[in-house]
């Protein structure tokens, strides 16, 4: 039986000429785990929001959405609240109370359950999700991963038949994300709840999906099992193949006729079989590893002058939010060279974003010194600091959107008008070289008349980057810049950052996206308990870790220990032929 059926569904936002969803047809079978994937802006989130009436965006819609055979719009809000659970991208947007136990019981109280039933269900959910250890805590004390788990538990307390998750791990570190998705799989497997999830982090969820749907330009153009989807994307040479699990991508670059691997474990076994089949002996692999490292080290050599000149220096920095609260940043010392791409990774709640706020002078340390290009950060005037020296891309891009359209928002950076712009003036602005160049660079061409809040998560990230780059900073600070982006655009933004680095820009990035960091960063620091516990060359960092490392390295380290990306493993295999 199909729990959800979507028939010829179309949707367009107000004042937009093009449809966000165009003739979508989709069926979800009861009790299955379903993944919807696609490029940023393809309509995934818009489609999911139409599966719950209270979340439907404003606009023009046509077609039918059926839930358990009935039209969704005819099902009352109480039934939808109880039977259709929805977990959003940002965990903070969904929490409505001050305590963990209050949050768990809030939905049940709203539905009118008696105290005994509420106590039973809350206890059951707290035990099932492992929340009992922080049951009485305030929600402000929780990490991002704990908040998202709390949102999931609060929804599951209402025993929904359908669980919808819209990129639920976009703000979580790799370990917390993996744990969260494991819980989602467990809910589907143990309880039988139907799951629909959109994710850009497909590595941990696609292999376990009963069915995957690929969207492009507002439509579902592929559906099937994960292996069928991967094979079709590979055959079509579609950009979404870059989002498939790394073992599948490595397999796709070979001539193997073996079963396509989906997980790291399957990939490791396939790789060993492939090496035996191609007679890639231990001696051959040793030579490949030596040659590979030699080429890599030649490419990683930096300008010796940049090694001496520091763009960012933090010395013995301490910070706490309140006088009597514990220190969030503790005795932090850090140096980033001019023209370097430095990435900071670590768990949620360790102090990474606080460190970035100190570097951007949003907050002040109570002890220690911060220097930018050798100068005390406190000596800069605001205009001098933020126009030409420092560019800051925040974790929440919406915090820097000011206008009603993307075009107006971009032009406001370099001196736009407060009144609504006429069409003639808009045409004039489009011809402005600065705007035109940045629109082309960040691929915003088709979005200029849209409201910034109507953009997808990935599109909002691109707009935020465009606004920051218009100020021509020498040092770029970025907090989770690849959040909500598909793999194809991540590759493009990686090339953009490399281009900026070649022009002398220093890039300091906080990220949970270890695959992106491994591909593009020069050095990586691991943040733990308010401090950087290690700073290493990117390859050394990822090849030496078991958990904070890439899927490609976990898959191939027993054969090619220095390969940290899928491209590295493919290169090593090609050298052997």
pLDDT in tens, 208-258: 999 999 998 889 999 999 999 999 998 888 888 888 999 999 999 998 888
Q: Give the angle 201-161-457 at the CA atoms, nearest 5°.
A: 30
Q: Mean per-residue pLDDT for 541-551?
A: 85
pLDDT at position 419, please? 42
Q: What's the mean pLDDT in 101-105?
A: 93
Instruction: State the average pLDDT over residues 93-110.
Output: 91
Q: What is the pTM of this model?
A: 0.82
Cβ(390)–Cβ(360) below 8 Å: yes
Q: What is the mean pLDDT of the chain?
A: 88
Q: What is the pLDDT of residues 397-411, one digit of tens each?
A: 888 898 889 988 888
- Alpha-carbon distance of 67 to 69, in angstroms, equals 5
- Rounded CA-CA distance 516/546 in Å is 17
Name the architecture of domain 2-98+163-243. 3-Layer(aba) Sandwich (3.40)
Comparing 56-70, 127-141, 419-433, 439-453, the range with the smallest average pLDDT is 419-433
Measured over the CA atoms of residue 408, residue 414, residue 418 and residue 421, the dihedral's sign is: negative
**Length of the chain (residues):** 577
pLDDT at 417 over 50: no
Average pLDDT value for residue range 97-105: 92
Confidence of residue 316 (pLDDT cuts 50, 70, 90): very high
pLDDT of residue 577: 65
Q: Where are the domains of the chain?
A: 2-98+163-243, 301-389+473-521, 398-470
Query: What's the Cα-to-Cα distance from 185 to each of 83, 159, 242, 332, rounded to whole Å?
Result: 19, 16, 23, 39
Residues 291-309, mean pLDDT to the nearest whole number: 64
What average pLDDT does this structure show over 354-367? 93
Q: What is the reported pLDDT for 299?
A: 61
The string of pLDDT tens digits covering residues 54-77 is: 999 889 999 999 999 999 999 999
Q: What angle do CA 88, 192, 231 make, to 5 degrees?
A: 75
Q: Give CATH for domain 301-389+473-521.
A: 3.40.50.300
Tell me whether the CATH fold assigned to 2-98+163-243 matches the one assigned to 301-389+473-521. Answer: yes
Q: How confident is the model at residue 164 (pLDDT cuts 50, 70, 90)?
A: very high
The DSSP call for residue 375 is E
Please answer whether residues 200 and 168 qualify as being in contact, where contact means their C-beta atoms are separated by less than 8 angstroms. no
Quote the pLDDT of residue 353. Answer: 87
Under DSSP, the state recorded for 395 is S
* C-alpha dihedral (79, 58, 195, 36), degrees to nearest 10: 160
The number of helices, as runs of H, and strands, as runs of E, in the chain is 22, 20
pLDDT reported for residue 302: 53
- From first CA to last CA, the distance across the chain in angstroms is 50
- For residues 345 and 517, is the Cβ–Cβ distance under 8 A? yes
| Backbone angle region of 6, left / alpha / beta, with phi > 0 → left and psi within -120 to 50 → alpha | beta
Stretch 201-208: mean pLDDT, rounded? 87
Say how far apart CA 535 and CA 533 lie, in whole Å: 7
CA 319 to chain centre: 27
CA dist., res. 47 & res. 312, Å (int)? 43
Residues 491-504, mean pLDDT to the nearest whole number: 89
Contacts of 8 (CB under 8 A, 6+ apart): 23, 24, 25, 62, 63, 64
Q: How far apart are CA 27 and CA 5, in angstroms?
A: 5
pLDDT for residue 368 is more than 50: yes
Tokens at residue 288, please? 């490949």
What gap in Å lies between CA 110 and CA 78, rounded to an integer? 9
Average pLDDT over residues 330-344: 94
Tokens describing residue 408: 């107006």
pLDDT at 300: 60
pLDDT digits (tens, 9 = 90+) for 528-541: 988 999 999 999 89
The pLDDT of residue 477: 95
Share of the chain above pLDDT 70, in %: 95
Examine the pLDDT at 518 and tell me if it is beyond 60: yes
pLDDT surpasses 80 at 423: no
Backbone angles phi, psi at 498, to 5 degrees: -65, -40
66 in Cβ contact with 5 (< 8 Å): yes
User: How far apart are alpha carbons 524 and 352 in whole angstroms?
Assistant: 13
176 in Cβ contact with 348 (< 8 Å) = yes
pLDDT at 421 over 50: no
Task: Answer for the pair 354, 319: CB distance below 8 angstroms, yes or no.
Answer: yes
Give me the pLDDT at residue 486, please.
Answer: 79
pLDDT at 41 over 90: no
Say yes or no to pLDDT of 173 above 90. Answer: no
Please name the residues in contact with 571: beta carbons below 8 A apart, sequence gap of 6 or more. 292, 563
The pLDDT, as a whole number, for residue 389 is: 92
pLDDT at 301: 52
Do the bridges between strand 2-12 and strand 21-29 make them parallel or antiparallel, or are there none, so unpaired? Answer: antiparallel
DSSP 402: -
SS3 78: helix
């Amino acid at each position: 039986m199909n729990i959800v059926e979507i028939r010829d569904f179309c949707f367009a936002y107000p004042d937009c000429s093009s449809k966000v969803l165009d003739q979508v047809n989709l069926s979800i079978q009861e009790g299955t785990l379903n993944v919807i994937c696609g490029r940023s802006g393809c309509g995934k989130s818009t489609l999911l929001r139409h599966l719950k009436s209270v979340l439907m965006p404003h606009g023009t819609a046509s077609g039918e959405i059926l839930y358990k055979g009935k039209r969704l719009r005819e099902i009352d809000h109480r039934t939808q609240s109880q039977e259709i659970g929805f977990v959003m991208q940002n965990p903070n947007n969904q929490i409505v109370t001050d305590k963990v136990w209050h949050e768990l019981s809030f939905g049940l109280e709203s539905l009118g359950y008696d105290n005994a039933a509420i106590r039973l269900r809350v206890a059951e959910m707290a035990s099932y999700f492992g929340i009992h250890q922080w049951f009485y805590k305030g929600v402000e004390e929780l990490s991002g991963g704990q908040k998202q788990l709390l949102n999931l538990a609060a929804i599951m307390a209402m025993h929904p038949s359908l669980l919808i998750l819209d990129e639920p791990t976009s703000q979580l570190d790799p370990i917390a994300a993996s744990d969260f998705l494991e819980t989602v799989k467990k809910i589907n497997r143990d309880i039988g709840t139907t799951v629909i999830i959109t994710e850009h982090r497909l590595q941990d969820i696609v292999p376990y999906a009963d069915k995957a749907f690929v969207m492009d330009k507002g439509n579902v153009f592929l559906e099937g099992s994960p292996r069928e989807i991967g094979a079709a994307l590979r055959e079509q040479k579609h950009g979404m193949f870059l989002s498939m699990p790394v073992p599948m991508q490595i397999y796709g670059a070979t001539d193997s006729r073996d079963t396509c691997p989906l997980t790291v474990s399957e990939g490791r076994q396939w790789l060993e079989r492939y090496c035996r089949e191609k007679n890639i002996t231990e001696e051959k692999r040793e030579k490949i590893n030596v040659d590979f490292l030699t080429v890599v080290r030649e490419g990683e050599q930096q300008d010796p002058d940049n090694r001496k000149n520091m763009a960012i220096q933090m010395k013995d920095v301490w910070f706490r939010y309140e006088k009597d609260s514990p220190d969030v940043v503790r005795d932090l010392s850090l140096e980033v060279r001019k023209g370097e791409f430095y990435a900071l990774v670590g768990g949620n709640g360790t102090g990474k974003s606080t460190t970035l706020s100190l570097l951007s002078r949003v907050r002040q340390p109570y002890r220690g010194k911060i220097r930018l290009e050798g100068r005390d950060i406190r000596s800069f005037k605001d205009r001098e600091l933020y126009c030409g020296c420092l560019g800051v891309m925040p974790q929440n891009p919406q915090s820097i959107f000011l206008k009603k359209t993307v075009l107006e928002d971009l032009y406001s950076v370099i001196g736009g008008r407060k009144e609504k712009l006429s069409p003639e003036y808009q045409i004039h602005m489009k011809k402005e070289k600065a705007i035109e160049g940045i629109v082309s660079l960040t691929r915003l061409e088709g979005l200029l008349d849209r409201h910034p809040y109507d953009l997808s998560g990935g599109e909002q990230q691109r707009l935020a980057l465009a606004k920051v780059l218009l100020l021509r900073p020498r040092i770029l600070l970025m907090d989770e810049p690849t959040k909500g982006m598909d793999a194809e655009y991540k590759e493009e933004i990686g090339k953009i950052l490399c281009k900026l680095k070649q022009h002398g820009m220093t890039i300091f990035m906080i990220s949970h996206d270890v695959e992106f960091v491994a591909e593009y960063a020069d050095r990586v620091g691991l943040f733990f308990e308010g401090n950087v516990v290690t700073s290493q060359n990117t390859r050394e960092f990822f090849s030496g870790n078991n958990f904070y490392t890439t899927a490609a390295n976990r898959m191939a380290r027993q054969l090619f220990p220095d390969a940290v990306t899928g491209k590295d493993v493919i290169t090593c295999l090609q050298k052997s032929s």
